[in-house]
Structure 1
Amino acid sequence: MIGSQAFVALQRSDGTLEAYTSPIDTYGTTLVKGDLSFPVHDVSAQNINGQVIIFARFELPMNGSNVVNHVWQGPLQDDDTPGSHGMSGDNLRSFGTLNFHSGKTVAISSHNVKLNSRSKIKIAHGIINAVSWGMMMPLGVVLARLRYLPLQEYPALWFNLHIYCQSIAYFLGIAGGGLGFYLGRQSSSSVKQHTCHRYIGGALLVLATLQVLAHRLRPSKEHKHRVYWNIYHWCSGYGTIIMGILNCFKGFQMMEVGIWKSAYIAFLASLAFVAAVLEVSRCYLNVNKGTATPEGVSANGIEDKA
């Protein structure tokens, strides 16, 4: 983190173990050698039974404080250059306090620590995108299957629910995607580690935007090219759903939030069950009423709303 005063131990490619200090003043730091904000002497390191221990002597601040906050990370490096550590799980829990007077260390419980602005943005990014891409988009598809039910009094109900649900999901997804790109610009290490998550998010925004534009250019039901529009709408729509769900699981993996992942799986299972019930209802109605397809739906099952 910016402002940290780092002690670094690096295993060189020739087998030597080097220890030095490095002040961190940017998120994209490569931990180059440099003087810290306080005097440090005799920095060295040893590899003992596979564990690297850093030794150093340094002078305490003149304000009389004997307690400092400290964090630790590693090992991760690319050849002779220190690598970027992860941004989730144990990487975010590796911190505590060190009392130089008593020599005791105290681990800090993560729930007693106030979230910084970046952590709040990350949480908001995850919640917004999980709700929009991961929940509302699939829900919109299931709502569209209400067209198979005999709702003569409300013939456009399924269409309006489908459009409103996915429109809200789209605009929420725009907001969540913007937060994601902001987080990426603020931390180069995050971008390098989560490239797949970032690319899927970008593809989602592009594909969903094309869906919105295609809706504005939708030909009439009698137009000869309407069937091609239906096929495009179906393919791009389900492509968006699949990528949205995949990226949600990528996010859960990055943040290591197992309980939310389990809850999301339960939501998807419930949604799949509802979709299956609606499909069975459609087949039952078709068999008993002798109707091939409901009004406004093409023979291939693709929505054909005017």
Structure 2
Amino acid sequence: MEKTRKIVLFACLLLVSFLASSSAQTCLNHSFSNRQYANCSDLPALNCFLHWTYDEAAGTVEVAFRHTGTTSSRWSAWGINPSGPSMLNTQALVAYVNSSGIPHAFTTSIDSMSPSMQQSALSFQVPSLSAEFENNEMRIFAVMRISESLLATNQVWQEGPVSNDQLMIHPTSGDNMRSTASVNFLTGQSGGTSSGSSRTRRRNVHGVLNTVSWGILMPLGAITARYMKVFKSADPAWFYLHVVCQTSAYAVGVAGWATGIRLGSDSAGVTHNPHRNIGITLFCLGTLQVTFASRVFMFLKSYKQTFMVEICGACRCLLCF
């Protein structure tokens, strides 16, 4: 009994660590209330993220730049620089919270190494530009009309202090000197740590998690209980292996189910009824197994019974221990 408790505790710790890692801040697990973007990238410095959609027919790129963990007394900026990964010649979008408490966004062309950060036109049109500040996160939304030569280029982003509505110079060390990367608006590739279509990535993760859970680990746990228990040398190892497989299967299955729910919420109006119904059925059966199997085991064990019945996914297995 003590070994079983340790195994279950270990499996729970694995689940907690898995959920904690999956909930880490990335561009893939962020959604906007009234916007959707086809691609995103975790920028490698300053806790920043870039989301974008390229409209080939219109020749525009719709972007959303997010700077998390900032304050209302700091400015945030993002831009592209076809001449190289540097501040000079960057065509930038800048935002800060003014003295009235309103987020203000503007464009500026950085033509010198000591920019004034004053509003100026860019080398391309920006038909739409706005900013939001909420929960210590600055967001810059823009539509850029750029030529094909700028689809694959360099991106630069920065942040610095604001004093009396004046944008002061940013720090010149640490991550502020590493805030450059490449970006390809057409292919979805970026110099950040993760890029590409967020929904495609979620679909792939959803498929892999559910395949491993319901397609591999759950059947493996049932097979272990069914065929290994006949060997005396495998007793009680088969039971512990069975518990680990089933518990791990449920943990991974919960993550896969949650990813599917997120995909559904991001795809309003698109419904795959057979797939959804099968998923709900499997999740309910798996939850019943984890909820009731351990209670049945404890009840029968306390009265020194010889057999217990456990529901294994969609199957019922008679286990002798």
Verify same fold: TM over 0.5. no
Structure with more of its chain in helix, by fraction: 1
Structure with more of its chain in strand, by fraction: 2
Bigger RCO of structures 1 and 2 (CA < 8 A, at least 6 apart): 2
Instruction: Output the TM-score relative to the length of structure 1.
Output: 0.40
